[in-house]
Amino acid sequence: MEPFRSRHQDPRPTTFPAHVAALVALTLTALVGTGCQSEDERLAPADGDPAEGVVAFSAPLLWDGTGAEPISDALLVVREGRVESVGPVDEVEVPPGVQVTSLDGAFVMPGLINGHGHVGGVEGLRSSPELYSEQNILDQLGLYARYGVTTVVSLGGDGPEGVAIRDRQDRPDLDRARLYVAGPVLSPDGPDEAEAEIRRLVELGADWAKIRVDDQLGQARAMDRATYGALIREAEEHGLPLAAHVVRLEDARGLLEEGVALLAHSVRDREVDDGLVQLMREHDVCITPTLTREVSVFVYAERPDFFDDPFFLAEADASVLEGLQDPERQARVAASEAAAYYRSQLPVAMENLRRIHEGGAGVALGTDSGPPARFQGYFEHLEMEMMADAGMSPEAVLRSATGEAARCLGLDGTVGTLTPGAWADFLVLSEDPREDISNTKTLEAVWIAGGEVAR
């Protein structure tokens, strides 16, 4: 075979003006689930052609999300939406007839994984059918994708709409973030109800079970250890990992001892001790710090700085921004005891993230983003900046948002790394985020299953 020679072409062969791109996005969204062939499939060569369903990319620098050093002058070959091979240009073969798209950007990396987000409406409140419509969820997954968040684990509030969307995503023409769901947040009255609660989730087809154990600062009944222990065991029997909303160190300890699979928020009441970090390591349990969730509780007492960030404004809904700046609403936030508590405990959460990370336990990016004031897509970038502020190196943050997140969430080999067999979901950045984590905002292009997402 002839040595590979890159045919540099326009990296964005199909760029449209914004209004046309929006129409294209709408049309593509409409096509999802109708069984229509994608454009790529229609243009694919006849049977038997080794180039069929194959696309290839060259990149000056590719970071694969595993923790390995980036590959210079990399070549990435994608077949039917999944990575077939990746490596230095002189070590990777491209099937004859496959054009190579040159990714112009300083840094290519796997798409971001949000290990704790939400889709639909306000978490757990399925009162508005409009918010939980498939179309609205797809729109939100499109928004996540345009910000480079290509996988979202929705930890609670999900119904059959989310399950149906998840069941349609293993396809090479996907143009929005992948979704995994936890179903409704469980709140049984006691251990006796654990079996029925988990059975409902299994029947729904959920990927996760989600519970809250604390009393929500006095607004709810705390879940006792016998009940969450029974839920964890019942979930385990059905192969469902269970994620828990925590605030208190004591609850985190009890959950770990009972076999929880994910701590879905930071411990915020006090600083974690070595014992907790050791329990996390022993049980191989990760945490999604959701620092931006804390911010969202108090920050709208005034106009937040990020309201001036062009990267935020690119997708922000003016009416939502207006609502959040309503003086009466601002006054309510300013007077809220809950807001004051979470504001005062944010430094504790950040110190705990540092201790957990430095102690060698797993951390996965997670934001608790979801409407209306936890901005999907943007908050993941804000969260990564806060993780770095808490003491993680930019590279460690990137791993927590890619390969490490996938490992924490049982998705390794599927997403989070650009390794053979994984979906070819990747980002092109114009600046290297290992130098400054805020460079994740220099997002030039987002590709899902080897296809570019219209932005």
- Site residues (vs Zn ion, CB under 5 A): 155, 368
* Shortest Å, Cβ 252 to Zn ion: 16
* Shortest Å, Cβ 287 to Zn ion: 13
CB nearer to Zn ion: give 382 or 428.
382
Phi first, then psi: give them for residue 446, nearest 5 degrees: -125, 130
CB nearer to Zn ion: give 131 or 155.
155
* Shortest Å, Cβ 211 to Zn ion: 11
Residue 440 near residue 430 (C-beta atoms within 8 A): no
Residue 286 near residue 246 (C-beta atoms within 8 A): no
Residue 230's SS3 state is helix
Q: For residue 4, is it left (φ>0), alpha (ψ between -120 and 50) or beta? A: beta
CB nearer to Zn ion: give 146 or 265.
265
Q: Are strands 286-287 and 262-263 parallel, antiparallel or unpaired?
A: parallel
* Shortest Å, Cβ 269 to Zn ion: 18
CB nearer to Zn ion: give 207 or 368.
368
CB nearer to Zn ion: give 220 or 313.
220
Residue 361 near residue 274 (C-beta atoms within 8 A): no
* Shortest Å, Cβ 288 to Zn ion: 9
Q: For residue 284, is it left (φ>0), alpha (ψ between -120 and 50) or beta? A: left
C-alpha span between 97 and 100 (Å, rounded): 10
Tokens (6 digits) for 248:
């208190």
- Of the candidates 263, 194, 267, the one whose C-alpha atom is nearest the C-alpha of residue 224 is 194
CB nearer to Zn ion: give 166 or 441.
166
* Shortest Å, Cβ 155 to Zn ion: 5
CB nearer to Zn ion: give 368 or 385.
368
> What are residue 423's DSSP bridge partners?
82
* Shortest Å, Cβ 368 to Zn ion: 4
Q: Which residue is nearest to Zn ion (CB)?
A: 368
CB nearer to Zn ion: give 155 or 363.
155
Buried/exposed code over 37-50 (b: 16+ C-beta within 10 A; e: otherwise): ebebeeebeeeeee
- Of the candidates 62, 84, 83, the one whose C-alpha atom is nearest the C-alpha of residue 73 is 62
**Neighbour-count burial of 434, counting CB atoms closer than 10 A to its CB (0-12 exposed, 13-18 middle, 19+ buried):** middle
Tokens (6 digits) for 284:
């191989």
* Shortest Å, Cβ 243 to Zn ion: 9
* Shortest Å, Cβ 296 to Zn ion: 11
Following DSSP, what letter does each residue of 283-311 receive, concatenated? Answer: HT-EE---HHHHHHHHGGGS--GGGG-HH
C-alpha span between 214 and 222 (Å, rounded): 5
Which amino acid type is present at position 446? Answer: V
CB nearer to Zn ion: give 56 or 349.
349
Distance from first CA to last CA of the chain, Å, rounded? Answer: 38
* Shortest Å, Cβ 294 to Zn ion: 12
C-alpha span between 270 and 273 (Å, rounded): 9
CB nearer to Zn ion: give 197 or 368.
368
CB nearer to Zn ion: give 155 or 405.
155
> What are residue 151's DSSP bridge partners?
113, 178
Tokens (6 digits) for 338:
């809950």
